[in-house]
């Protein structure tokens, strides 16, 4: 059941125009261009699951600023605290 909900969330996110999800949408669009839209939606759903698990584990809110584009359109999670240490 959770898997189907994540897939539905991925489809909804891909159709959204929210700036907070632009990095994830660009990443999914790059995959869709290479592998097809359905494969991209499954990949985005898996990424959402990892993000949700990290939010649950760390008890934090979603931080769109931590997702940025590296080498074209592939987003990476940025640890801004590592540079301070």
Entry pTM: 0.74
In eight-state DSSP terms, residue 73 is: T
CA 81/CA 59 separation, integer angstroms: 17
Torsions phi, psi of 35, nearest 5?
-120, -15
pLDDT in tens, the chain (85 residues): 999 999 999 999 999 998 888 889 999 999 999 999 999 999 999 999 999 999 999 999 988 777 755 445 444 544 444 444 4
Structure tokens at 13: 């996110």
């Amino acid at each position: 059941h959770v898997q189907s909900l994540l897939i539905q969330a991925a489809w909804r996110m891909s159709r959204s125009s929210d700036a907070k999800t632009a990095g994830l949408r660009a990443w999914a669009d790059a995959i869709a261009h290479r592998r097809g839209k359905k494969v991209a939606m499954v990949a985005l759903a898996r990424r959402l699951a990892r993000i949700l698990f990290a939010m649950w584990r760390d008890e934090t809110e979603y931080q769109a600023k931590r997702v940025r584009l590296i080498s074209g359109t592939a987003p990476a999670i940025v640890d801004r605290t590592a540079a301070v240490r």
